[in-house]
Amino acid sequence: MATQADDVKREEQITQALSQVEAHASQLKSGDPEARQKLIASARELVTAAETPVETLLWNIWALPTRTTALRIAVDLKIFETAVADNGSPKTNEQLAAPTGASPTLVKRVARACASMKMLDEQAPGVYAANSLTQLLAQPEYAAGIIFTFDMTQVPFANLPTYLKNNKFQNPENGVDGPFQYAHKHEGHAFHFLTAHPEIFQAFHGYVHALRTHRPSWTEMYPVQERLVQGLKTEGDASALIDLGGGVGQTLQDFTKAVPEYNGRLVLQELPEVIGAATAMGVGADNRIELQAYDFFTPQPIKGARAYFMRSVLHDWPDELCRKILANIKDAMEPGYSKILISDCVLADQGASWQHLSLDLYMMAQASSQERTEKEWHKLIESCGLKIAGIYNKGDGNEGLIEVVCE
């Protein structure tokens, strides 16, 4: 039970948090480009200060798990798609249930949960209208994010405490015998699970690309002209920018638009099944992007390339396997010319962003891997006889760009 001293302390915290909200709101109105993110953070601090510890506890153990489940069911019920139909006119429970033949009572229970998350607007009892977030979730690539994150992760997360307890709370570091395999009763890496489940595989690639369009591109952080275009050898392998583990090629496609003056080769290296998916999608049809089946745990076939790019690759693997990937690249590099470009999270040592911390536990459950701090990146890179030439960031919670060289 709260004491008078607790109440006084909470009032002081609320006053302090409120002043931060007001200050950041004023900065936003004045045109400060960084003020919006600061305002979000200070608003969260205000909620935390205003809540009692029990309210905070119940929010985390009641609200958050049920919200994720409600969203996943809403996608299957086509609630968001139906809500935006007919120019987003208000819909009753019965109208939302019609496309799938679902029980209107079930739809009511799910829709009102979505409304509590502001995914829908509740205009009257049992009547809902679309808002801007509904419009977003009605698009397949954003609904795919819900499908992927639920279908791929919820089982491992649910089993993670038991897995860790059974393994005497040791840090997971085996990508083929870890929490994911324990939970899904699956042999092999999580990527093999993805390719064996086409719906989740497609959801993953669609969602990841859509999400990245809302975050700074690596070409916005990194001095591409100075570090890649200038001094580029335009013949053969030396001209190549290689995207290792680049999915179905979205990053290279974006690169051609962002840096059209780069006239070297662009090569997508992926596992055969992913290359097959990229080919089916028409990637490489114009011959600008070359598709090459390749396993980055084997020797790199393209020697002396300008850059070996990896986006969200090394965070999929524990240090031991990252060293094997990096060693294969190092053996192919031309010292003083070739670069390794790593687009991944760089965690702050203290007060890291919630996006980075959430993703760290996500990677533990899915791949027995991790996100890394700047110190951990230096330790990993230098253990391979390589050197970090620079780390570039833009915005809190986004991926950074790490330039690695071989001297």
Catalytic residues: 315
Q: Residue 14, Cβ neighbours under 10 Å: how many?
A: 16
Q: How far is 339 from 169, CA to CA, in rounded Å?
A: 38
Q: Which residues contact 106 (CB under 8 A, 6 or more apart)?
A: 77, 97
Q: How far is 152 from 68, CA to CA, in rounded Å?
A: 13
Q: Which residues contact 97 (CB under 8 A, 6 or more apart)?
A: 77, 103, 104, 106, 107
Q: Which of 363, 365, 318 is nearest to 183 (CA)?
A: 365
249: alpha, beta or left, given left = phi > 0 and alpha = psi -120 to 50? left
SS3 label, residue 243: strand
Q: How far is 314 from 306, CA to CA, in rounded Å?
A: 20
Q: How far is 171 from 185, CA to CA, in rounded Å?
A: 20
Q: Are 393 and 346 in contact (CB under 8 A)?
A: yes
Q: How far is 135 from 141, CA to CA, in rounded Å?
A: 12
Structure tokens at 190: 């999580």
